[in-house]
Amino acid sequence: MTPALSHQKNPLIGWDITASAKVDKDEKIARAQILVNDSSEYDETFDSPLSSWQKQLTQKGEYPGDNTVRLVITSDTGGDTEAEDSWG
């Protein structure tokens, strides 16, 4: 499983966050979670597991301020893979 996170300053307020994941051979994505500053902003379980996934959240986090985004991808076998992005 290969997760990825990126952020970009939103011209209006906060930050835009892009999260994505691709699977390796013989695995699928069963659930995706995005936590911004330890608060759940996205949590979806997929009835039919996916081979790739992408989501953009807009106007999240604090500006100015320290921010941390955590992506948790759960495979169809129950294992979690995480990625984290922090900025201040």
pLDDT at 62: 78
Q: Average pLDDT for residues 7-31, to the nearest whole number?
A: 94
Fold of 2-87: Immunoglobulin-like (2.60.40)
Pairing mode, if any, of strands 52-60 and 15-22? Answer: antiparallel
Domains of the chain by residue range: 2-87
Structure tokens that stand for 8 in this block:
């970009």
pLDDT tens digits for range 26-63: 999 999 999 999 999 999 999 999 999 999 999 998 77
Looking at residue 88, its amino acid is: G
pLDDT at 9: 92
Structure tokens that stand for 49 in this block:
């597991």
pLDDT at 49: 96
pLDDT at 61: 84
Sign of CA dihedral 44, 67, 3, 20: positive
Task: Please name every residue paired with 19 in a beta bridge, in sequence order, or none if there are none.
Answer: 5, 55
Q: Average pLDDT for residues 7-16, to the nearest whole number?
A: 91
pTM of this structure: 0.93
